Structure 1
Amino acid sequence: MTLPSEHQTSQVQSSGPLSGRVALVTGASSGIGAATALALARSGAAVALVARRQDRLEDLARTIREDGGQAAVIAADLAQPEQARGAVMRAVAELGGLDILVNNAGLMLLGPVAGADPTDWHRMMDLNVLALMHLTQAALGPMKQRQRGHIVNISSVSGRGASPTSAGYSATKWAVGGFSEGLRQEVRLDRIRVTVIEPGVVATELTDHITHQDTKTSYESRIRTMTPLEAEDIAAAVVYATTQPERVNVNEILIRPLDQG
């Protein structure tokens, strides 16, 4: 990612398209979350950074502040419902409100159903689905109060289709799609927009957590055959959706590497 000059950064922060808005980004300690938080900050938003790894959040917050932006660090385990809801309340208290929620935190624990550890299913459901739902519910109060808001849910191409080793993961991402569409219809009259972004293969830490070793090896070999997306590509999609005129609700963005089948 090309960093703006000092003059350009100052100008973006004072007059960017998201100037005066507050965003909360989950999974902000690495990958898509970190890139998205940085991109939103460079578009003028004050950003609440949420993840478990506080040291990484502090590093990212320092970068944002050095660029002239505003950031709040909120260390939380979002698989714990009270911590998920608490992250929203802290963001509102520390940054003065909430306009954009990016539900990015997630796990991709691939593997065949027959050989799966059911603990992996519970972990994915808790973070990929339930944490997203708790965060969203908590965010609706401050958004409705402002009569505006935007909820961006990071899903996956696995939320549209499945493979022999993605059944559990795909189940969580299909759930995200269903929840998002029902939510969109509920909150549209409150002037709250809902966007689902479905990335294909992205170069992130997501594969590091796969516990089924044969699947992990096979998936990593597959990635080596293509040029994956970068986290910044997904961040750009988030900025695109959130900077559209308020009459425009970008419902869904499907984005794959050029050479992904």
Structure 2
Amino acid sequence: MTTSAATKTVLITGASSGIGEATARRLAAQGHRVLLGARRTERLAALAKELRHGGAPAAHRELDVTSLDSVQAFAAAAIEEFGRIDVLVNNAGVMPLSPIADLRIAEWEQMIDVNLRGVLFGIAAVLPQMRRQGGGHIVNVSSVSGHRVDPTAAVYSATKFAVAALSEGLRQESRDVRVTVVSPGFTRSELTDRGGSAEARAAARAAAEQLAIPASAIADAIAFAIDQPANVDVNELVVRPTAQG
């Protein structure tokens, strides 16, 4: 683990697996203080314990990003544990893919609640503290699906396009809070494990098995944006496999 004067307190949602877990490992290795949030507290506890054994200040809290109360409690825990909030990594997301004609309305609502409402709740929970501090950084994890639309991904893409629009609006309104959108391509994660139509899920898994880059590649991009000087705002990073069309 390395430490520096630029050590920051970083909140990470969806930290129990995939990009969130990889980002926690990457930032902790750099000496940042990390607060990990997700619903699967057993995984969070094990990861936080591992990071602490490696010398990193790490804590965890149960988090449901679809609940404003839960997200506000998560932010309050960061203040209690570490005294400030420097960075929020809005990473939690779901991707149940299916054709619109399948009318999987409950899954549409879930994507809106997690992928968009969860990002908004995260911003609402940390922005006042960042303003009081005179600085901060919000990193929103979007997707290449926030740049293009493919069959079976229309609703998922809609939420990710919305994250990009929201992030750009926040960036334009901010002079002391940095805003970064990170858009991963096929990445090894659990996104294709749950929900959606069987055919779409199988197709996404097959593509991921052929193309997917490790979650650590996205963690590296997030770390790069976070570690820039305060007057440098890396607004958008698209990170996809070289072979992805």
User: Structure 2: how far apart are the matches of 1:131 and 1:219?
Assistant: 24
Give yes or no for contact 1:16–1:42 (8 Å, CA) kept in 2: no
Residue 38 (structure 2) pairs with residue 48 (structure 1): no
Give yes or no for contact 2:145–2:160 (8 Å, CA) kept in 1: yes
Equivalent positions of 1:120-139 (< 5 A) are: 120-139=107-126
Residue 234 (structure 2) pairs with residue 250 (structure 1): yes
Deviation at 1:17, TM superposition (A): 6.3
Stretches of structure 1 that go unaligned for 5 or more consecutive residues are 1-8
Task: Pick from 191, 196, 208 the counterpart of residue 223 of structure 1.
Answer: 208
The one-letter code of the counterpart of 2:189 is: T
User: Structure 2: how far apart are the matches of 1:234 and 1:216?
Assistant: 22
Deviation at 1:222, TM superposition (A): 2.4
The one-letter code of the counterpart of 1:141 is: P
How many equivalent residue pairs?
Answer: 245
Deviation at 1:18, TM superposition (A): 3.8
1:205 equivalent in structure 2: 190
2:4 equivalent in structure 1: 16
TM-score, normalised to structure 1, is 0.91
Hey, which bits of structure 1, 4+ residues long, moved more than 6 A? none
TM-score, normalised to structure 2, is 0.97
User: Structure 1: how far apart are the matches of 2:120 and 2:34?
Assistant: 20
Deviation at 1:77, TM superposition (A): 1.4
Cα deviations across residues 212-255 of structure 1 (Å, max 9, x unaligned)? 1111112222223x331111000000100000111110000011
User: Structure 2: how far apart are the matches of 1:192 and 1:223?
Assistant: 34
Deviation at 1:92, TM superposition (A): 1.5
Give yes or no for contact 2:107–2:195 (8 Å, CA) kept in 1: no
1:113 equivalent in structure 2: 100
Give yes or no for contact 2:39–2:64 (8 Å, CA) kept in 1: yes
User: Structure 2: how far apart are the matches of 1:228 and 1:234?
Assistant: 11
SS in 2 for 1:94: helix
The one-letter code of the counterpart of 2:23 is: T
Residue 44 (structure 2) pairs with residue 60 (structure 1): no
Identity %: 42
Stretches of structure 2 that go unaligned for 5 or more consecutive residues are none
Residue 96 (structure 2) pairs with residue 96 (structure 1): no
